[in-house]
Chain A
Amino acid sequence: MASLVVDPSTPSAAGRVLDSPWLSFTLRRGARFLVSMWVLVTAAFLMMHLVPGDPVRAALGIDAPADLVASRREALGLNDPLLTQYVDYLRNLLSGDLGISMGSGEPVGTMVVERLGSTVQLALLAFVVAGAIAVPLGVAMAVATRAGRRRGVELVFATSSMLAAAIPEFLLAVGLVYVFAVNLAWFPVAGAATLSSFVLPVLALAVGPTAILARIARVEMLAVLQDDYIRTARAKRLPARRIYLRHALPNALTATLTLGGLMLTTMVAGTVLVENIFAWPGLGSRIVQSITAKDYPVVQAIILIYGGLVLLVNLLVDITLALLDPRSTIREA
């Protein structure tokens, strides 16, 4: 009989998952992601129609014969009522069809997908490099300069990180090209052929975010070190390592991660400039070519991908944050 009695202190595994604030938080965040995605898709759809003048005429040039423009308009469905076009656009998107290029007539999907990989590679690598340097650096700086210690170190760190953060990635890229590719010829100036061709673009993308992230990590860590529970940990006479790494760091990371996610999204945008300087075969160099050539379906698709990446990063950051700091699931509700 006793085995039939359910002990209220140990709920079944399924019950625990369903009750978990983390799950409902994740569901809410998922819903928000979908709404944002819908806004993004709608904006991308409207872009083609907000462009001044006839987009097809603009893409093909003023010399293009009228019947070619008319047939291209027909092929793109631009003569249908706006709502019909919108529904078609959504339906095509769901089946993975991103339309066809106005210039070459190729399907945009295949054109874009092969370039997505190199852009994501670049951004992720830069992000990993930035995080791997910035977080330990910021934490070490916080520990070294806490409560007004080592003013000199603090001054050097504050000044150099401010300067590094102020240099935009494309200027840094130009400087890197000048020093390491033109003068020293250590690294290739363009393309993504070899491993060494990653060095300069990744550096150009990572330096600024590293500086910003390290500053944030330091400030967050300093704030956490002031918290009462750190005093509790000290009262337990834990070794300094454990106090800093196990007690302080996870609490400092939550805010750092939020802003780190923001960094990753700006890095995604930063690839546009960096790719164009290093002739990187990614989405960034393609979107600029397409904007100049007024190939709007391609621009539309790439904007959509960039936007989707940004929203996805934000979603992942929020979910990770909820795992790290269980309180954030409540704060939101």
Chain B
Amino acid sequence: MRTRWLAVVRTPLGAAALLLMVSMVTLAVLAPVIWGDRAVQVDTDAIHHGPSAAHLLGTDGLGRDILARVLVATRTSLGLATLAVAIAVGLGTLIGTAPSVLPRRLGRLITGAVNIAVAFPALLLALFFAVVFGVGTQGAVLGIGLAGAPSFARLTQTLSASVDGLDFVAAARVAGVSRFRILRRHLLPNIAEPLVVNATVGAGAALLAFAGLSFLGIGVQAPSYDWGRLLGEGVNRIYSNPAGALGPAVAVMFAGLAFNLLGETTAAVVGGRARTRPASAPGFAAAAVEEATGGGHTDGSAALENDVILHTDDLHVSFPAAKEWVTPVRGVSLTIRAGEAVGIVGESGSGKSLTALAASRLIEEPGVINAARLDFCGIPLLTTPERETRRLLGRSLAMVFQDPMKSFNPTMRVGRQLAETAVEHQDLDRRSALARAIDRLHAVRVPAPARRARQYPHEFSGGMLQRAMIGMGLMNTPRLIVADEPTTALDVTVQRQVLRLLADVRAETDAAILLISHDIAVISQMCDRVLVMYAGRIVEDLPVAELRTARHPYTRALLDVVPGLDADRTSPLGVIPGRPPEPSQFPTGCAFADRCRFATAACREEDPLLRPSDSQVDGDHRVACWHPVDGDRLLAQQSFVPIEAMKAGEIGG
């Protein structure tokens, strides 16, 4: 905490706040001692004088020096504001915590009263209470204090409600700790920090409110005076002596600013905010882009067969982090052909979703994509201007995201959300686009599609929304559907429907599918080919049919942890020991080495390249490993599920 304070004070804002506050408090202490006499000294020869060397801000109706009065009034103004905010915080905390101690019904009554009171602006409440308590200093202090109480009560309620839900409070309650003790020991200490921040800001507001009331003549009464009262007197004579009004106005403003800045600073300390970012783009980026734009590019695409839908070569995705750039995807090369279903599998953090987003050009700044090539339907996406690729991608690339509940706009009807893509990319008018949307909803088996199209996403179930999301992709004629964990957020029975729908769509439209999943069983049901990703790289690329002979130790580990129907239910579920490395801490050499039981010193020195597996003749099985596993040798001692059994069991039903 102390170091955080020091850090904040060193920022310009924090230093300014502290300086302002210290000088205000010093003035409040010293000014009445130094200028107290001068401030009340009546001079009948100098009534209503303008600014002069003797009276920098002029004199008032009794010839008293206005500057001296402004300085002396610091004590009254700050003191009364502090007093008022103390009343507000004290009363507010009392009211706010009362519901957690009092009987339930009484507590609800108090909560209701606070809810009503908090709707009224503080100034109105202050006016009301100032009238009730009588016009004058006392009435104003009580008025502003009481007016501030509801918002502090609300704050305390909200804060204690959130603390109340925490485990240790629940534990204390179960343990039979009394409600008062819970309040004192657990609730109050935990809400103290935000309360202090708000009290500081509240003191500023109280100061301004007080100045306002006194200015109106409802606060401090003569012969006492505060800044508000001086301001009121000054404004009456603003034409003859503007300085007399501006002096107190500036004082109020500085004091208000001091409290506000102090509040911000305190909030920064409590919240512990800090921001830094790296200076420039990653070093390899320039080289990679150069490579992409410079040579080989046009020649390369000519060599590709025209049934290639997506082709990436050496794809990198980088993000700026605290000090340097991190690159969670580093050198992914893949090719997807028309009608093909390719799966990417890996643990979370392996870079599989980022690979899919990058391939679809959906990585936003500050993220950076670099690749030797990134072609979609033969168009180089990285070098073609976005406005030229927009229609192509809009028509031919469909996305299905993980959480359908969050991936639909909650404020738009589902039908409109489907229709707008046809309006945009097929130049349909809204009516026929909506008709097509209803037709597509029907195609993805949403019942009563015409009615459903008029509904909002929250009226749909998750599975139905995910089907609608697929329908959204079918508004046009997709060549590729990228499905990023499309069933993870859904429950198991619905998962199968969605997967089957994707398979049907593929069969009917000949669209290629790129399926991202952490579940190798799902991929083996759906796809022709599997790409296994680990730490931002593809470590193995093989046909699903050959999963049985997978050679990378990581792929084998993934297969091993899939429980089969005949798995021994008394033994614990299999896990891969250890955790994948963070993108900021990718090691040199093979990233899997630390978790691999075949790893040798060589593995930690150089990263293995993705190369055709030497046991293969036709070359469609690639692996990046120094010590690839001999599949047949291991089969005997491993207990992974036979893929054929999985396929038959899952998707057939």
Residue of B nearest to A235 (CB): B399
Q: How far is the CA of A254 from the CA of B411 in the complex (A)?
A: 10
Docked-complex contact A306 and B408, CB < 8 angstroms: no
Docked-complex contact B391 and A269, CB < 8 angstroms: no
Contact of A175 (CB < 8 Å), options: B116, B208, B249, B456: B249
Docked-complex contact A231 and B407, CB < 8 angstroms: yes
What's the count of A-B pairs with C-beta under 8 Å? Answer: 185
Residue of A nearest to B447 (CB): A9
Docked-complex contact B216 and A288, CB < 8 angstroms: yes
Docked-complex contact B116 and A272, CB < 8 angstroms: no
Which A residues are CB-close (under 8 A) to B472? Answer: 236
Known pairs A9-B451, A288-B217, A310-B124; A273 contacts B116 (CB<8 A) = no
Contact of B135 (CB < 8 Å), options: A228, A250, A292, A325: A292
Which A residues are CB-close (under 8 A) to B238? Answer: 174, 177-178, 182
Which B residues are CB-close (under 8 A) to A128? Answer: none
Residue of B nearest to A272 (CB): B123
Q: How far is the CB of B471 from chain A (nearest CB, A)?
A: 13
Docked-complex contact B411 and A288, CB < 8 angstroms: no
Which A residues are CB-close (under 8 A) to B116? Answer: 35-36, 39
Docked-complex contact B424 and A239, CB < 8 angstroms: yes
Q: How far is the CA of A227 from the CA of B457 in the complex (A)?
A: 15
Residue of B nearest to A232 (CB): B407
Docked-complex contact A231 and B401, CB < 8 angstroms: yes
Task: List CB contacts (< 8 Å) of B185-214 with chain A.
Answer: 204, 208, 211-212
Docked-complex contact B128 and A228, CB < 8 angstroms: no
Known pairs A310-B124, A324-B411, A326-B458; A292 contacts B245 (CB<8 A) = no
Asked if B410 is an interface residue, CB under 8 A from chain A, the answer is: yes
Q: How far is the CA of A106 from the CA of B420 in the complex (A)?
A: 62
Contact digits for A292-333, partner B, Cβ 8 Å, 1 yes 0 no = 100010010001001100110010000000001111001000
Which B residues are CB-close (under 8 A) to A26? Answer: none
Docked-complex contact B120 and A310, CB < 8 angstroms: yes
Q: How far is the CA of A167 from the CA of B84 in the complex (A)?
A: 20
Docked-complex contact B246 and A178, CB < 8 angstroms: yes
Known pairs A229-B408, A238-B420, A277-B235; A147 contacts B403 (CB<8 A) = no
Docked-complex contact B411 and A168, CB < 8 angstroms: no
Q: How far is the CB of B182 from chain A (nearest CB, A)?
A: 29
Q: How far is the CA of A254 from the CA of B408 in the complex (A)?
A: 17
Q: How far is the CA of A228 from the CA of B489 in the complex (A)?
A: 14
Task: List CB contacts (< 8 Å) of B388-427 with chain A.
Answer: 390-391, 393-394, 397, 399, 401, 403, 406-412, 420-421, 424-425
Q: How far is the CA of A268 from the CA of B116 in the complex (A)?
A: 17
Asked if B127 is an interface residue, CB under 8 A from chain A, the answer is: yes
Which of A47-55, A111-119, A199-207 is near enough to bind chain B?
A47-55
Which of B90-98, B157-165, B250-258, B535-543 is near enough to bind chain A?
B250-258
Asked if B218 is an interface residue, CB under 8 A from chain A, the answer is: yes
Which B residues are CB-close (under 8 A) to A269? Answer: 121-124
Docked-complex contact B134 and A168, CB < 8 angstroms: no
Q: How far is the CB of A333 from chain B (nearest CB, A)?
A: 13
Q: How far is the CA of A281 from the CA of B458 in the complex (A)?
A: 49
Contact of B239 (CB < 8 Å), options: A171, A182, A310: A182
Task: List CB contacts (< 8 Å) of B205-231 with chain A.
Answer: 208, 211-212, 215-218, 231
Docked-complex contact A306 and B420, CB < 8 angstroms: no
Asked if B119 is an interface residue, CB under 8 A from chain A, the answer is: yes
Docked-complex contact B128 and A47, CB < 8 angstroms: yes
Q: How far is the CB of B429 from chain A (nearest CB, A)?
A: 16
Docked-complex contact A311 and B119, CB < 8 angstroms: yes
Contact digits for B444-487, partner A, Cβ 8 Å, 1 yes 0 no = 00001011000010100000000001001000000000000000
Q: How far is the CB of A302 from chain B (nearest CB, A)?
A: 9
Known pairs A287-B127, A288-B216, A327-B410; A237 contacts B249 (CB<8 A) = no
Q: How far is the CB of B217 from chain A (nearest CB, A)?
A: 6
Q: How far is the CB of A247 from chain B (nearest CB, A)?
A: 5
Asked if A251 is an interface residue, CB under 8 A from chain B, the answer is: yes
Asked if B242 is an interface residue, CB under 8 A from chain A, the answer is: yes
Docked-complex contact B411 and A325, CB < 8 angstroms: yes
Which B residues are CB-close (under 8 A) to A50? Answer: 132
Which B residues are CB-close (under 8 A) to A28? Answer: none
Q: How far is the CB of B279 from chain A (nearest CB, A)?
A: 12
Docked-complex contact A148 and B277, CB < 8 angstroms: yes
Q: Which range holds the interface residue count of chain A?
A: 35 or more
Docked-complex contact B120 and A238, CB < 8 angstroms: no
Asked if A282 is an interface residue, CB under 8 A from chain B, the answer is: no
Q: How far is the CA of A326 from the CA of B336 in the complex (A)?
A: 41
Contact digits for B65-88, partner A, Cβ 8 Å, 1 yes 0 no = 000000000000000000000000
Q: How far is the CB of B353 from chain A (nearest CB, A)?
A: 11
Contact of A310 (CB < 8 Å), options: B119, B390, B469: B119
Which of B135, B216, B391, B451: most chain A CB closer than 10 A? B216
Which of B119, B215, B257: most chain A CB closer than 10 A? B119
Which A residues are CB-close (under 8 A) to B420? Answer: 236, 238, 242, 246
Known pairs A166-B257, A237-B394, A291-B218; A307 contacts B421 (CB<8 A) = no
Asked if B30 is an interface residue, CB under 8 A from chain A, the answer is: no
Task: List CB contacts (< 8 Å) of B580-600 with chain A.
Answer: none
Docked-complex contact B366 and A272, CB < 8 angstroms: no
Residue of B nearest to A39 (CB): B116
Asked if B364 is an interface residue, CB under 8 A from chain A, the answer is: yes
Which A residues are CB-close (under 8 A) to B22? Answer: none
Known pairs A47-B132, A229-B410; A36 contacts B246 (CB<8 A) = no
Q: How far is the CB of B27 from chain A (nearest CB, A)?
A: 19
Which A residues are CB-close (under 8 A) to B211? Answer: 168, 170
Which A residues are CB-close (under 8 A) to B264? Answer: 162
Docked-complex contact B406 and A268, CB < 8 angstroms: no
Which B residues are CB-close (under 8 A) to A268? Answer: 121, 124
Asked if A64 is an interface residue, CB under 8 A from chain B, the answer is: no
Docked-complex contact B249 and A171, CB < 8 angstroms: yes
Q: How far is the CA of A52 from the CA of B130 in the complex (A)?
A: 11
Asked if A149 is an interface residue, CB under 8 A from chain B, the answer is: yes
Q: How far is the CA of A28 from the CA of B532 in the complex (A)?
A: 55
Task: List CB contacts (< 8 Å) of A138-182 with chain B.
Answer: 147-149, 162-163, 166-168, 170-171, 174-175, 177-178, 182
Asked if A23 is an interface residue, CB under 8 A from chain B, the answer is: no
Residue of B nearest to A300 (CB): B131
Docked-complex contact B401 and A232, CB < 8 angstroms: yes
Q: How far is the CB of A79 from chain B (nearest CB, A)?
A: 21
Docked-complex contact B132 and A51, CB < 8 angstroms: yes
Docked-complex contact A235 and B360, CB < 8 angstroms: yes
Q: How far is the CB of B388 from chain A (nearest CB, A)?
A: 12
Q: How far is the CB of A7 from chain B (nearest CB, A)?
A: 9
Contact digits for A1-28, partner B, Cβ 8 Å, 1 yes 0 no = 0000000111000000000000000000
Docked-complex contact B451 and A228, CB < 8 angstroms: no
Q: How far is the CA of A171 from the CA of B456 in the complex (A)?
A: 47
Q: How far is the CB of A332 from chain B (nearest CB, A)?
A: 12
Asked if B260 is an interface residue, CB under 8 A from chain A, the answer is: yes
Residue of B nearest to A8 (CB): B448
Which A residues are CB-close (under 8 A) to B634? Answer: none
Q: How far is the CA of A229 from the CA of B468 in the complex (A)?
A: 14
Docked-complex contact B135 and A147, CB < 8 angstroms: no
14 A–B contact pairs at CB < 8 A? A170-B215, A171-B253, A174-B231, A177-B235, A231-B401, A236-B472, A237-B391, A242-B424, A251-B410, A251-B411, A265-B119, A270-B123, A273-B123, A291-B135
The 7 A-B residue pairs with the shortest CB-CB distance, nearest first, are A237-B394, A269-B121, A9-B448, A269-B123, A228-B406, A235-B399, A9-B451
Beyond A171-B249, A288-B217, 13 extra complex contacts between A and B, CB < 8 Å: A147-B366, A162-B264, A178-B242, A229-B406, A234-B364, A239-B424, A242-B420, A247-B409, A269-B124, A272-B123, A277-B235, A303-B128, A311-B119
A interface residues (Cβ-Cβ under 8 A, vs B)? 8-10, 35-36, 39, 43, 47, 50-52, 147-149, 162-163, 166-168, 170-171, 174-175, 177-178, 182, 227-229, 231-239, 242, 246-247, 250-251, 254, 265-266, 268-270, 272-273, 276-277, 287-288, 291-292, 296, 299, 303, 306-307, 310-311, 314, 324-327, 330
